[in-house]
């Protein structure tokens, strides 16, 4: 136990989903399901702390974006579901509404007006006048089921910052840009303790070297594994409501390309 000095601003943030929210957390056969959590990197972009790019040629900008947050002394924990997660199970069919189509090997075959298709072995070809072109495979699902987080699901995360933050009241989340309400409450740290339990979700790679993980439930998701209900040995802020938040967390992006 130690006195407080140069304490950061810590916000306890509660998200309430106002629309069905989907993240491609896990793919099991034709089922695409959202894990009962919201990743901290996704939250950085949703809150506007990292820049959202409207065009992208496939370049991943995690390293440069999160390094800027490290330099600014800003960190977010992943959001853990508060209570019971509500789920919405739906089905999708991505096949186009055309007069004629056929299923190939990882390929949905369609032809434009005035053309015709030919199958030669496992391959498909489209004839347009005197031109014959081979159709390539497509790495995208045609049909399947989606298990997404449902309306009224609540999730809690912490924002730690060297400077005070003005956070939005409403944000957009997930692949469907679903609307969510955000309530941010400034929590004052009372003291620093040497060990304890963090009730939410953390990214183990983001913990400082002096913190040891004693126990916890690992969640294997991309882009980094997470830990739920971690028991830690290392400095933690004890907040006014008794909750603990590990000290010194920062985005571990140094080894990214």
User: Where exactly are the structural domains of the chain?
Assistant: 9-91+145-246, 95-140
Residue with the larger pLDDT of the pair 179 and 92 = 179
**pTM for this predicted structure:** 0.81
Average pLDDT, the chain: 88
The pLDDT assigned to 89 comes to 92
User: Is the pLDDT reported for residue 222 higher than 90?
Assistant: no
User: Is the pLDDT reported for residue 208 higher than 60?
Assistant: yes
Please tell me the distance from the alpha carbon of residue 203 to that of residue 160, in angstroms, as a whole number.
14
Render pLDDT for 38-52 as a digit per residue (tens, 0 to 9): 999 999 999 999 988
The pLDDT assigned to 139 comes to 63
Give the Cβ contact number of residue 253 at 10 Å: 18
- The three-state secondary structure class of 164 is coil
The pLDDT assigned to 126 comes to 86
User: Is the pLDDT reported for residue 201 higher than 90?
Assistant: yes
Render pLDDT for 118-155 as a digit per residue (tens, 0 to 9): 888 888 888 888 888 887 766 666 678 999 999 999 99
Render pLDDT for 186-196 as a digit per residue (tens, 0 to 9): 998 999 999 99
Strand ranges (E), 42-177:
74-76, 79-81, 87-93, 101-104, 107-110, 116-120, 123-128, 131-134, 143-149, 154-161, 170-173
User: Is the pLDDT reported for residue 2 higher than 80?
Assistant: no
Query: In whole angstroms, how far apart are CA 225 and each of 25, 228, 238?
Result: 11, 10, 25
Q: How confident is the model at residue 95 (pLDDT cuts 50, 70, 90)?
A: low
The pLDDT assigned to 173 comes to 94
Unique residue bearing structure tokens 């943030």: 13
The pLDDT assigned to 138 comes to 65
In contact, 204 and 214? CB cutoff 8 Å: no
């Amino acid at each position: 136990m130690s006195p407080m000095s140069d304490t950061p601003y810590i916000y306890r943030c509660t998200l309430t989903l106002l629309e069905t929210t989907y993240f491609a957390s896990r793919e099991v056969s034709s089922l695409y399901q959202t894990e009962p959590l919201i990743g901290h990197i996704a939250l950085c972009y949703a809150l506007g702390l990292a820049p959202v790019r409207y065009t992208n040629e496939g370049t991943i900008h995690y390293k440069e974006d999160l390094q800027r947050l490290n330099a600014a002394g800003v960190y977010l924990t992943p959001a853990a579901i508060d209570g019971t997660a509500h789920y919405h199970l739906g089905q999708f069919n991505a096949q186009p509404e055309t007069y004629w189509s056929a299923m190939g090997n990882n390929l949905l075959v369609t032809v434009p007006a005035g053309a015709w298709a030919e199958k030669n072995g496992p391959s498909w070809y489209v004839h347009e006048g005197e031109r014959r072109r081979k159709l390539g495979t497509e790495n995208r699902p045609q049909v399947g089921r989606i298990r997404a987080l449902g309306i009224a699901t609540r999730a809690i995360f912490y924002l730690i910052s060297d400077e005070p933050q003005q956070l939005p009241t409403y944000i957009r989340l997930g692949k469907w840009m679903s609307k969510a309400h955000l309530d941010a409450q400034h929590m004052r740290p009372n003291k620093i303790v040497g060990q304890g339990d963090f009730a939410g979700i953390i990214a183990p790679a983001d913990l400082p070297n002096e913190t040891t993980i004693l126990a916890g439930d690992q969640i294997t998701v991309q882009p980094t594994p997470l830990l739920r209900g971690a028991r830690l040995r290392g400095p933690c802020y004890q907040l006014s409501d008794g909750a603990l938040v590990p000290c010194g967390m920062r985005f571990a992006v140094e080894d990214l390309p």
